[in-house]
Chains A and B, each alone.
Chain A
């Protein structure tokens, strides 16, 4: 299969995300999110901000092809890397060993540079690292794979959780430097974000998408206006 030159995401109007609940012979659809208009996104940083339980993770899992859509099928072009909020790596491994086992030359060098930039001690086992440092390991792996896999779609579920303010700055700065990747990010820390290309939100079960901030307003204020 020919890989696309640019990553993209398209959700057609009428696509519904959710679960089928009940017994196997009497399943009913429980819709969490519905797209009422066509939604598209290309390379860049796209935020998904919504209240707890609105269906963000279900939407992400559907985009990652880990969960079927209830109706329709979102079109995701590019190699998907899904970092869920419960993803963890082997606690006994040091990040250095993990990177060497997983990544090839260029991606490995990239991971080393990013680890330096994020001030991660790669020789200490992951289990002895703090919550924030363990999150850095996941981010480094995902970013290294995405940067060296052609057209990449990086789905990140709350990637800044546990990171201190200065590391958040470094991460969001890094995202701004590498705009060729399509990053679809569930985020609650809107104040730590410098720039984004669009904002998705889920309001009353409907997927909404804005490509520009409201005039003179931050992304946080734009989100509050939408919800």
Chain B
């Protein structure tokens, strides 16, 4: 008996649904336009050599902005829509497990996240690539590290948004990962002196369980061409983000619902 449907058919259906919406293509086009145009708005002509690292910084800034806006919004909306329309139940009744459905659903949005990440890498490795071979090798290492860390942060957050979309309202499903990202990426620099250095055990524990997405932001190293993180530092960041990502992904899988 021939198989009636493609492997990962929910993923394919979701991808087709996203691809017909113009916002996905605008997101990708915007990544290139932003990396090209944003540095031109600065007084770069006073010091032209800063233009190249500024473009790299703009490319990654756009990737982080996408993770604050479009990506969690689309994931939340997609989860909500598929649940309300009964599509998840249809697949569930056909034998697909909730975990597989959740992964397929979030993978459909994660593809666009990967697209944004790859475009940021592309900008860094083409227009911003240093001409000196030694510098170029270090630059390549740094860009790859940034790409890996970005994926480790964004994939679990997209999964969480999609999963929350199936069990809560769109607003909650959108805001929860955005709040986590805000805490981990932006608020960490303010919270660290308050919590990490506090004598209170409770404060120190709070700091430990907070998301440490600031570890994944290597923009300063890109701007000042500091080269890649030392091997041990990179592995430390990788482990920390992977553990936190696993916890967030597990939470997402637990809250995922198929019932319409």
Separation in Å of the A217 CB from the closest CB of chain B?
34
Q: How large is the interface on B (under 10, 10 to 19, 20 to 34, 35 or more residues)?
A: 20 to 34
Q: Would you call A66 and B94 a contact (CB within 8 A)?
A: no
Could you say which of A12-20, A34-42, A143-151 contacts chain B? A143-151
Known: A66-B259, A92-B20, A93-B20. A104 touches B6 (CB 8 A): yes
Q: Would you call A97 and B3 a contact (CB within 8 A)?
A: no
Q: Would you call B93 and A65 a contact (CB within 8 A)?
A: yes
Could you say which of A82-90, A166-174, A183-191, A193-201 contacts chain B? A82-90
Q: Would you call B4 and A101 a contact (CB within 8 A)?
A: no
Known: A103-B6, A107-B5, A149-B1. A87 touches B13 (CB 8 A): no
Q: Which of A103-159 contact B (CB under 8 A)?
A: 103-107, 125, 144-145, 147-150, 155
Q: Would you call A92 and B260 a contact (CB within 8 A)?
A: no
Any chain B CB within 8 A of the CB of A59? no
Known: A79-B94, A90-B17, A93-B16. A84 touches B2 (CB 8 A): no
Contacts of A90 on B, CB cut-off 8 Å? 13, 16-17, 81, 85
A150 to B89, CA, bound (A): 21
Contact among B2, B12, B86, B92 with A86 in the assembled complex (CB-CB below 8 Å): B86
Q: Would you call B1 and A104 a contact (CB within 8 A)?
A: no
Mark B75-114 against chain A: 1 for CB-CB distance below 8 A, else 0. Answer: 0000001000111011011110000000000000000000
Any chain A CB within 8 A of the CB of B15? yes
Q: Would you call B2 and A105 a contact (CB within 8 A)?
A: yes
Any chain A CB within 8 A of the CB of B9? yes
Any chain B CB within 8 A of the CB of A102? yes
Contacts of A100 on B, CB cut-off 8 Å? 16
Separation in Å of the A100 CB from the closest CB of chain B?
8
Q: Would you call A79 and B3 a contact (CB within 8 A)?
A: no
Separation in Å of the B118 CB from the closest CB of chain A?
23
Separation in Å of the A90 CB from the closest CB of chain B?
4
Known: A87-B87, A89-B85. A102 touches B94 (CB 8 A): no
Any chain A CB within 8 A of the CB of B231? no
Contact among B5, B81, B92, B258 with A102 in the assembled complex (CB-CB below 8 Å): B5
Contact among A80, A89, A101, A150 with B93 in the assembled complex (CB-CB below 8 Å): A80
Any chain B CB within 8 A of the CB of A81? yes
Contacts of B12 on A, CB cut-off 8 Å? 101-102
Contacts of B16 on A, CB cut-off 8 Å? 90, 93, 97-98, 100-101
Any chain B CB within 8 A of the CB of A64? yes
Contacts of A103 on B, CB cut-off 8 Å? 4-6
Q: Would you call B1 and A101 a contact (CB within 8 A)?
A: no
A82 to B87, CA, bound (A): 10
Q: Would you call B5 and A82 a contact (CB within 8 A)?
A: no
- Chain B interfacial positions (CB closer than 8 Å to A): 1-6, 9, 12-13, 15-17, 20-21, 81, 85-87, 89-90, 92-95, 258-260
Further contacts, 7 of them, CB under 8 A, given A66-B93, A101-B6, A145-B4:
A80-B94, A80-B95, A98-B13, A101-B12, A102-B5, A104-B5, A147-B4
User: Could you list some 17 contacts between A and B, CB below 8 A?
Assistant: A64-B89, A64-B93, A65-B93, A66-B89, A66-B259, A82-B89, A87-B89, A87-B90, A88-B86, A90-B85, A92-B17, A97-B20, A102-B13, A104-B3, A107-B2, A107-B5, A149-B1
Q: Which are the 7 A-B pairs with shortest beta-carbon distances?
A: A148-B4, A101-B16, A82-B93, A87-B86, A64-B93, A90-B17, A107-B4
